Amino acid sequence: MDDPLRYFPHREFREGQKELLLDLHDSLKDEDVVILSAPTGYGKTSLYISLARMFGKSIIVVPRRDLQDQIEMKYGIFTLKGRRNYVCPLLSNGRNVTADKGPCLLGKFQCPIMNAICSSPGSCDDCPCRYCPYNNRKKTALRIIRSGGVICINPGLLNNFIDECDFLILDEAHIVMRMLMRGVKVSEKPYDIRETLISEEIRVRNEISQLIPRIFNGELNLLEKLSSLMRKIEAIRNLLRFDNLIYYWNDGWIIDYAPYHEEEFMRLLSDGKKLLIVSATPPRIRCRQVKAEKHIIHPSRRPIFFCPIVKFTKKNIEENKDLVYGSIARTIEKISREFISKGITKKVIVHAVSEDHCKEIAKRINLRKVVHEKGNLDENLSEFLLGDYEIFIASSLDTGSDFSTKDIALQFIAKVPYPDLGDPKIRKLRKIMDDFNEWYIRETIDRICQASGRICRGPDDFGCTIILDEKFDSLYKKHKDKFPEWFRDALIRCQRDEITNKVESLLCDMAQNLNRSR
């Protein structure tokens, strides 16, 4: 192997990065699957970018479009996003129809222009598919990977590229794995799983073939249905690729991956290649783990305040909805106004766990706000960051998002993010896992730790996290040993009226220390 230090993308290493990079390099010499575990904000991206460039023929998989943007802009890595980010030239015809609805996904399809079966889009002289931005960018990605380069994709595209690479990197691996291991609902009772999936794909293809000419003739209300069916085709293909891991749920005729097969799934992904699993809270599988010993950001620069306001539970909401949401909303607004008026922050993030909680909290807060809408997280986030807004209330910002801007120095965890016991997959997991309770607690702690690292990404950053849900108290007391040391070091318990003064005191101490060092 080459020397990975030659490929490090920055002039200087942060404390501990150089040693960690060399440790990763040595581990990948001996092992096919290696975990990189380090706190949020440690600089894990710089480490795996170095290794990707050293190995060549490398694929980086990240779960969100904004992460792809960061990797492309900061490191110059070529990115290919999902089809919904590109226009389909065949179906658009002056309309903004995205490529996730393109009939080319079917392989062979009835071309609405030539009125003939097409198996090679773009082959006709006047075919609009020649100018498909998605397919052209996909061809570029393939050329890069085949010539020994590095590309960044999302989990939905992995099937198209996995056989082309020598080195596969899963960033925010705990989220990527959930997205890869996605099941489908079938329309008949599965007796033979593989045959049922093949039959379901044929049925979906036929339904799509009937929709395309209708859409081409102006029935645009069918576009979302077409997009949903196309996504189902992709999910079926994934299941068929790893069919030795799938199983059938009795409730709802759903075919899905066995939840306890995470380790076997990783082994299949690494077949014939090296696999690096990257996360602050990695999946618990048996393999070599390279772990950062400490957080690079001092606890005083990333305080985590526990300010118990109300027990944010389903029972309490049913008994007194206004009390729960009102108490949370008033606290968020009061502290946010204080922080903004004193120049500590310009913008605020709220982690609210679900879209319903987002809406209920938002309507009780009188600040310029953006509220997370289902399926539009990237658009909502961009609107918040670029617009004249003070607060963003979202359900799923606990992973992946990198708020390295100095404008955001305050975030709230409104509710302890326990996994939803009403989710069918969680219900199934509860039935079949002997250690479900252990998994349930660890999953919750992982989500809290992930959320806590969103606004402090470098040693010079400053950001406060405030946990408002009283339920955190019992969770922490019972399971303190399961929280990482970097989290425990930063945790401060206080009352609502004390937070601003404590933060100002921390900032004053930092300024004095900086002056002394000069």
Residue range 4-291 in CATH 3.40.50: yes
Per domain, the residue ranges of the chain are 4-291, 299-517
b/e for 440-454, b at 16 or more Cβ within 10 A?
A: bbebbbbbbbbbbbb
Do 4-291 and 299-517 share a fold?
yes
> Which residue in the block uniquely carries the two structure tokens 């618990």?
284
417-420 LR contacts (CB < 8 Å, sep 24+)? 417/351, 417/353, 417/444, 417/447, 417/448, 417/451, 418/444, 419/443, 419/444, 420/354
Question: What's the confidence (pLDDT) of residue 250?
Answer: 59
- Backbone φ and ψ for 305, nearest 5 degrees, come out as -90, 130
Cα-to-chain-centroid distance, residue 410: 21
Tens of pLDDT along 94-109?
567 788 777 776 666 6
Q: How far apart are CA 275 and CA 28, in angstroms?
A: 9
* Residue 122 φ/ψ region, left for φ over 0, alpha for ψ in the -120 to 50 degree band, beta for the rest: left
Question: What's the confidence (pLDDT) of residue 214?
Answer: 82
Question: What's the confidence (pLDDT) of residue 221?
Answer: 82
What predicted TM-score, i.e. pTM, was given to this entire model? 0.76
> Which residue in the block uniquely carries the two structure tokens 């300024």?
511
CB count within 10 Å of CB 363 equals 12
**Residue 76 contacts residue 187 (beta carbons within 8 Å):** no
C-alpha to C-alpha distances, 488 to 6, 30, 297, 483, nearest whole angstrom: 36, 34, 14, 7
Q: How far apart are CA 161 and CA 152, in angstroms?
A: 11
Strands 58-61, 78-80: parallel, antiparallel or unpaired by DSSP? Answer: unpaired
Check residue 63 and report its DSSP letter: S
Host H or E run for residue 58:
strand 58-61
pLDDT along the chain (518 residues), means of 10: 86 88 92 88 89 95 88 95 85 72 69 71 74 90 96 90 93 82 78 86 88 77 83 83 68 66 78 89 82 81 92 93 94 92 91 92 95 79 90 76 73 93 79 84 90 78 91 96 91 83 73 47
Options 3.40.50.300, 3.40.50.261, 3.30.420.40, 3.40.720.10; CATH of 299-517: 3.40.50.300
Tens of pLDDT along 120-146?
776 776 777 888 889 899 999 999 999
C-alpha closest to that of 236 among 178, 174, 186? 186
- Percent share of the chain, pLDDT over 90: 38
Question: What's the confidence (pLDDT) of residue 514?
Answer: 43
Distance from first CA to last CA of the chain, Å, rounded?
42
**Residue 67 contacts residue 21 (beta carbons within 8 Å):** no
- In the structure, how many helices (H) and strands (E) does the chain have? 19, 19
Tens of pLDDT along 212-255?
778 777 787 887 888 888 888 888 888 887 776 776 665 567 77
| Beta bridge mates, 167 | 58, 274
